[in-house]
Structure 1
Amino acid sequence: MSYADKVFKGMCRDILDNGVSTEGEKVRPVWEDTNESAYTIKKFGVVNRYDLRKEFPALTLRRTALKNAFDELLWIWQKKSNNVHDLNSHIWDAWADEDGSIGKAYGYQLGVKHQYKEGEMDQVDRVIYDLKNNPYSRRIMTNIYVHQDLHEMNLYPCAYSMTFNVTQKKGEDKLTLNAILNQRSNDVLTANNWNVAQYALLVHMLAQVCDMYVGELVHVIADAHIYDRHIPLIEELITREEHPAPKVWLNPEKKDFYEFTVDDLHVVDYVTGPQIKHIPVAV
């Protein structure tokens, strides 16, 4: 059965049984429909590990929209856009202004060029450069939580940093690409597996263009939380039957990071439980 399901169930049970409630505290999020405070049960410092060689970490308890998740990843990492008009879904509409901009957030920060000894590069190109030229560097990372620009971001970045680390397994002809995703905040029901799947795909993309094997994705969450209105949905979700992980791969002909499209993502044998519809949204 899907390892991602087992991780998800264990994390949710731990949050519900051992987490801390924010009820009555001063919190920022409100419910979109009533504007009332949206409280959570939370755990600090959740760390989940996924071996991408063994299987793709897609939840099967309910379907994760892998194509839409990939499209958002490309919007941020490849297009380096901060405008929802460049995105095929509407998940960012609540944070966009009248022109479609979410401010100096996410893709904007990845597109800013910085001066290095090797020349000017943005953060994505720097990662690719180092993976190809300095794979054993311990400095291959991105950071989009830029304090000087926070006041111009319509939402502070949740998944804010990636750290890449390359290893060599004995007897193998290629290097292995591993990564850590750092996230300050994670809405477990709506976004946990979405983020896991996205950054697993990013590791697959980078490994492919740098001629490496995929390795581990480690997901570090500072504040993993379940909203109060989501508790009964989570309680039902984690009682569901688990299914085998789907087979997921990218078009092997693509060797340039900037040539990937959503159509290059292939997903087969993705058997899941029913989708949860009309999930309450906190903004």
Structure 2
Amino acid sequence: MSYADERFIQNCRDILTNGVWDTELEVRPHWEDGTPAHTVKKFGIINRYDLREEFPILTLRRTYFKTCIDELLWIWQQKSNNIHDLRGHIWDSWADGTGSIGKAYGYQLAVKHQYPEGEFDQVDRVLYDLKHNPASRRIMTNIYNFQDLHEMALYPCAYSMTFNVSGHTLNAILNQRSQDMLAANNWNVVQYAVLVHMMAQVSGLEAGELVHVIADAHIYDRHVPIVERMLEKEPRPAPRFVMDPSVTDFYRFTRDSFSLEGYEPHPFEDKIPVAI
């Protein structure tokens, strides 16, 4: 059984069995037809993934690995906030006429800040510290900038990464304020597992644990039947993650620098409606 499947099954069963519904409240998200998109949720879910053991991708349904990486590189490498720089269409609903999602995600990572060692943006500061200050307890990024929230099309969901070097191992914590368990949970886990591998390799380290902290872990009302059908499936073994070992510059990775061997997820026929 894939450990990612195991955690997903346990989390979703807990939410469906013990979660709290918001049906009596007014909610911001809505479906395409204008109906309010209500959820059942659990507060404060924490999952730990040991990247030395296996790659945390679901087999209960396919997680589109290359598309995950495209978005990851769009945010962390290109530091873009324009959907015209992105291969997929997952951000189309939040973009304006020019393709911008406002001062969100990649925009925040690209902003430069002054340090004693010089001027860095958030990504380059992490890369610098991993090589020059590995004992630091200040290696982190944060894109939840209150000053710019009013100019963001969507407030950041996965908003903070904290990196920590223990010996020769790079561990990280992903903090997420909100998580759509069906549409986005494994998507984010896959992305940030890849990011830890990337950061580790270019820093001469080994990828260790990814700890995923979710404040509001929820399942939308129209997703419940889909999740219930997924939970009836038998998990399959996790695939092997492969990364081009010759890449030593974070900005030289491409979507083709990564692959999965032996990824055989279950067929998945359902279309997942997305709440906006």
TM range, smaller chain: over 0.9
Backbone CA RMSD of aligned residues: 0.6
SS at match of 1:50: strand
* Residues 221-257 of structure 1: per-residue CA shift (max 9 Å, x gap): 0000000000010011011011110111211110000
Identify the residue that residue 145 of structure 2 maps to in structure 1: 146
Q: Percent same amino acid among aligned pairs?
A: 67
SS at match of 2:26: coil
Gaps of 5+ in 2: none
Identify the residue that residue 188 of structure 1 maps to in structure 2: 181
CA contact (8 A) 2:27 2:37 kept: yes
Identify the residue that residue 227 of structure 2 maps to in structure 1: 234
Distance 1:211 1:277 in 2: 42
SS at match of 1:36: coil
Q: List 4+ stretches of structure 1 deviating above 3 A.
A: none
Task: Give the counterpart letter for 1:144 in structure 2.
Answer: I
The 5 A counterparts of 1:216-231 are 216-231=209-224
CA contact (8 A) 1:62 1:276 kept: no
TM-score by length of 1: 0.97
Identify the residue that residue 272 of structure 1 maps to in structure 2: 265
* Residues 105-132 of structure 1: per-residue CA shift (max 9 Å, x gap): 0000000000011110000000000000
* Residues 192-218 of structure 1: per-residue CA shift (max 9 Å, x gap): 000000000000000000010110000
Distance 1:274 1:25 in 2: 36
Matched, 1:58 2:44: no
CA contact (8 A) 1:113 1:121 kept: yes
CA contact (8 A) 2:177 2:214 kept: yes
Task: Give the counterpart letter for 2:21 in structure 1.
Answer: S
Task: Give the counterpart letter for 1:138 in structure 2.
Answer: R
Distance 2:136 2:72 in 1: 25
Gaps of 5+ in 1: 169-174
**Residues 269-278 or 255-264, more deviating:** 269-278
Matched, 1:281 2:274: yes
Q: CA deviation at 1:276?
A: 4.1
Instruction: Tell me how many residue pairs correspond in the alignment.
Output: 276
Matched, 1:86 2:79: no
Distance 1:162 1:52 in 2: 16
